[in-house]
Structures are given as C-alpha cells and as structure tokens.
C-alpha cells in the first residue's frame, strides 16, 4: 500500500510540474497561427529528420555494444530493440524507468544480471553527459546563454564528475563495499544483506575497461556522431517550418536548441517530458 501511494504521489507531482510548464509554454501563444504553421509546413523534411534520429539511435546501440563486449557479445540489433523499448517506456512511465526496463531486457537476452547491464547504461550516460558538456562549452563561446543555463551546465558537470568517481571507487573497492553492506544490513536481515551485496557486486562487474585501446577512440567518435545526429533533427525541423528564413536563424541555432532541450529532459515531469520540453523549446 505504501509503495502504491509513493508511486501515485510521484506521478501526481510529475503531472503537476508538466501542467505548470505547459501553461508557461502556451501562455500568450496564438493557437490559430500554430495551426497555420502546421498546415504550411513542408513535411518532406521530416524524412531526413527521422533518418537522423533513428541513425543516432542505431549508433547508440553500436556504442553500447562496445561497452558490453568485455562481459558479453551482443548483436547491435538486440541492443537497438532494447533501446527503443526503453524509449517507449519513458513515454508512459515516470522517472526514466524505461532505462531500468532496457537493462532488464538486455540482461534477459544475454542471461546477465540486470544490475550489471544497468551499470553499463550508467557508464553510457556519463559519456553522454561529458559529450554534452563539450557541446555546451562550444555554445557558451558562440551564444550568450542566460545565467540559469550556465548554472545548469556547471551542475551537470559536477554530477558527471561525481558519478565517475562513484563508479571508479565502486569498481576498485567492491569487496569493501559489499562487506560493509553485509555488516550494516546483516542485523536487520541476513537475506536482505546478501541480496543487496550481490546486486552491488553485479553492478560493479558492469563497470569494466574496454577490451582494446581503439575501442575508446570508437566510443568517442560514435558519441560525436550520435549528438551530431540530434543536431540535424533540429536543423531539418527548422527547415520544415521555414524558421531559418523567417527568423534569420544562424547555423548554431540548432546546437543551442539541443543544449536547452536536453536540460529540459533532465527536469522531473510526467512521462514523455511533457511540459518542460515544450516550455524550453
């Protein structure tokens, strides 16, 4: 009962946040002009936009394959299907639970503990954050962001550094962490202590070095291509609605939009990032 109340409360808070940001997003918007823009859009530009989006998703699966190779050899197609199911789940479940479902599916396909595959997803997210930090650093030079965006960038960077330290420390001191876990939880429940210690050990197994030095280069190249694909999605979207010509948008407008909307995805909201994403757009 308490778990259901907690889940309902979390969903309610997410919906409230989304409703608030939707109000901010559509306040003062002329819906008639929105409808007019939708009817006049050149939807053929959505074809390359979707190609860029799904191409980025496929490259993300290829990159994840490199991260998983030290523990199990997957096919890129297996990881791509798990990724898309996870994204679908994020549209209907709160708190990015789609990532947990993705880890579970990958674990089932490779007969691996879900906690281990979840660790590789955590490493993947660290790489994404570091790539985003590099993009933000570039956009800070060419665009005068407001203070709150810069602050968000610093917070994101601090989070990435903290997560890296945590993952490295967990991998190095896995035995110590599991022993202390058993000592602390043992008096409460021996079964619980062993279960948590096992989960920690399995998670630590997922934080492993890549097999070859060249794999690090490939991970860096793939990360750049993934985010370049996301930029192209916005570029083609601008072209579809003729925004570049009407508003004389510079070449870096898509880059700036990507940074701001990525921050919106991090903000807690209802499933599908409804509200926060639209307001920051």
- Output the pLDDT for position 92: 78
The reported pLDDT for the residue numbered 65 is 96
Q: Which residues constitute the domain of residue 257?
A: 2-280
- The answer to whether 22 touches 279, Cβ cutoff 8 Å, is yes
Q: What is residue 280's predicted lDDT score, i.e. its pLDDT?
A: 58
Within the chain, where are the H helices?
2-26, 31-40, 46-68, 76-90, 97-110, 114-142, 147-172, 174-185, 190-205, 213-240, 243-246, 253-266, 276-280
State the sign of the Cα–Cα–Cα–Cα dihedral 226, 151, 126, 263.
negative
Note the pLDDT of residue 96: 78
Phi, psi of 131, rounded to the nearest 5 degrees: -65, -40
Sign of CA dihedral 263, 3, 162, 115: negative
Q: Give me the number of domains the chain comprises.
A: 1
Q: What is the pLDDT along the chain (281 residues), one digit of tens a residue?
A: 555 666 667 666 667 776 776 776 677 777 777 778 788 899 999 999 999 999 999 999 999 999 999 889 999 999 999 999 999 988 877 767 889 999 999 999 999 998 889 989 988 988 888 888 888 777 777 677 677 667 777 777 777 778 778 877 877 888 888 888 888 887 787 777 778 778 787 777 777 777 688 888 999 999 999 999 999 999 999 999 998 887 888 778 888 888 888 876 666 555 656 656 655 56
| pLDDT for the residue numbered 274 | 62
- Per-residue model confidence (pLDDT) at position 181: 82
Please calculate the CA angle 234-118-126 and round it to the nearest 5 degrees. 50
pLDDT, position 273? 64
- pLDDT, position 123: 87
| pLDDT at 11 (0 to 100) | 64
């Amino acid at each position: 009962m308490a778990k259901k109340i907690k889940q309902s409360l979390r969903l309610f808070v997410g919906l409230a946040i989304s409703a608030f940001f939707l109000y901010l997003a559509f306040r003062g918007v002329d819906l008639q002009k929105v409808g007019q823009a939708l009817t006049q859009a050149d939807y053929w530009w959505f074809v390359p936009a979707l190609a860029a989006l799904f191409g980025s998703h496929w490259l993300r699966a290829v990159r994840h394959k490199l991260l998983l190779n030290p523990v199990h050899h997957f096919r890129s197609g297996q990881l791509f299907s798990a990724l898309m199911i996870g994204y679908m789940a994020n549209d209907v479940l709160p708190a990015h639970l789609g990532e947990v479902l993705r880890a579970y599916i990958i674990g089932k396909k490779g007969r691996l503990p879900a906690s281990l595959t979840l660790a590789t997803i955590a490493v993947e997210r660290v790489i994404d954050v570091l790539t985003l930090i590099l993009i933000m650093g570039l956009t800070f030079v060419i665009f005068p962001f407001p203070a709150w965006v810069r602050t968000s960038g610093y917070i994101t960077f601090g989070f990435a550094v903290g997560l890296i330290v945590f993952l490295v420390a967990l991998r190095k001191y896995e035995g110590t962490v599991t022993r202390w876990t058993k000592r602390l939880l043992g008096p409460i429940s021996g079964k619980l202590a062993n279960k948590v210690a096992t989960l920690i050990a399995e998670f630590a197994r997922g934080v492993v070095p890549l097999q070859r030095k060249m794999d690090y280069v490939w991970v860096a190249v793939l990360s750049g291509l993934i985010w370049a694909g996301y930029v192209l999605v916005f570029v083609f979207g601008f072209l579809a609605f003729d925004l570049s010509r009407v508003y004389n948008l510079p070449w870096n407008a898509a880059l700036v939009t990507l940074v701001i909307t990525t921050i919106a995805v991090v903000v807690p909201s209802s499933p599908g990032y409804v509200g926060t994403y639209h307001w920051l757009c």
